[in-house]
Amino acid sequence: MNPMQIKIDEARARGKMGLIPFLPAGFPDRERFWKELEQLDAAGAAVIEIGMPFSDPVADGPVVERASLKCLDDGVNLAWIFEGLKARKGRFRAALLLMGYLNPVYQYGLDTFAADCEAGGVSGLIVADMPYEESGFVKDALKPHGVSLVPLVGLNTTRERMALYADGAEGFCYFVSVLGTTGQRDALPARIKEKLAEAREVFDIPIALGFGIRRPEQVAPFAGLMDAAVFGSALIGHIEAGGTSAEFMAPWE
């Protein structure tokens, strides 16, 4: 079983929600980034999602975009990310997941990327700009290295398309809570409930809800329908305002 699923299942077994914090690699700066990861790990993250910065992040809102562009300016690239991960391999209790856009991965070389994921202890990948139809060659490259492509579905994904994603999926299913980009929202759409229930039926792996999530109260109404919560923009905003990852995680544990 993929480590991402193992960790989320472990949290569920303790009666907790699986926690999936997201930070762009190199945020808030190249040194502190690794310290924040350690804090997130110590605070009980099931999966830590590391953003691979890209110049043109169409699925992201302004908070993640700004943070990612700053990391690019600081010289963050995949080589730097993998170097840091390899140096810390085995030090994280949480499963590690890389998230980003296809082009940087494509230029790095898919086979090299997959091998470096394995060498750096990464067990999953999310590609925000790659629907099912285009994903075959990426899955083929990841598979020999035990890295899973995490499916992203949303409010407008039909049951038929969910089934395409569910076939052979590992780790967890990332359910996008809004028709929109990443970023905090005060309220989540009411129809999440029925679509989450549908995802529950179609997928036999854990379901994580993401986009717009800040506080535990927001996801309370969906408690039985989801296994994990992803938060990125709110965490980034908290750190930008001078806070630490440990403080942010406290209300969630």
What is the Cα–Cα distance from 58 to 103, expressed in whole angstroms? 13
Task: Tell me: does residue 34 bind other proteins (CB under 8 A).
Answer: no
Strand order in the sheet with 207-210: 148-149, 122-127, 95-100, 47-51, 18-24, 228-231, 207-210, 173-176, 152-154
Of 153-212, binders to other proteins (CB under 8 A) are 153-154, 156-158, 161, 165, 176, 178-181
Beta carbon nearer to other proteins, 34 or 132? 132
Q: Quick one: residue 29, left, alpha or beta (phi over 0 = left, psi -120 to 50 = alpha)?
A: beta
**Is residue 60 annotated as part of the catalytic site, yes or no?**
yes
Q: How many residues bind other proteins (CB under 8 A)?
A: 42
The Cα–Cα gap between 214 and 252 comes to: 10
Pairing of strands 207-210, 173-176: parallel
- Residue 11 binds to other proteins (criterion: CB under 8 A): no
Minimum distance from residue 67 beta carbon to other proteins (Å): 12
- Selected from 3, 21, 57, 84, the binder of other proteins by CB under 8 A is 57
List the one residue from 54, 82, 222, 248 that touches other proteins (CB under 8 A).
Answer: 54
> Binding segment for other proteins among 39-47, 65-73, 198-206, 239-247 (CB under 8 A)?
65-73
Return the amino acid letter for 232: G
222 vs 228: CA distance, rounded Å: 11
CA distance between the termini of the chain: 25
Give whichever of 58 and 87 is closer to other proteins, judged by the CB atom. 58
Applying CB under 8 A, which part among 41-49, 91-99, 106-114, 141-149 lies near other proteins? Answer: 106-114
Residue 245 sits in the site that holds other proteins (CB under 8 A): no
DSSP 63-88: HHHHHHHHHHHTT--HHHHHHHHHHT
The least distance separating other proteins from the CB of residue 169, rounded to whole angstroms, comes to 13
Task: Please identify which of the residues 60, 65, 116, 227 carries the catalytic annotation.
Answer: 60
CB of 221 to other proteins, least distance (A): 22
SS3 156: coil
Report the distance separating Cα 235 and Cα 240, nearest Å.
9
Active site residues: 49, 60
| Chain residues that interact with other proteins, rule: CB under 8 A | 54-59, 61-62, 65-66, 69, 72, 77-78, 101-108, 128-134, 152-154, 156-158, 161, 165, 176, 178-181
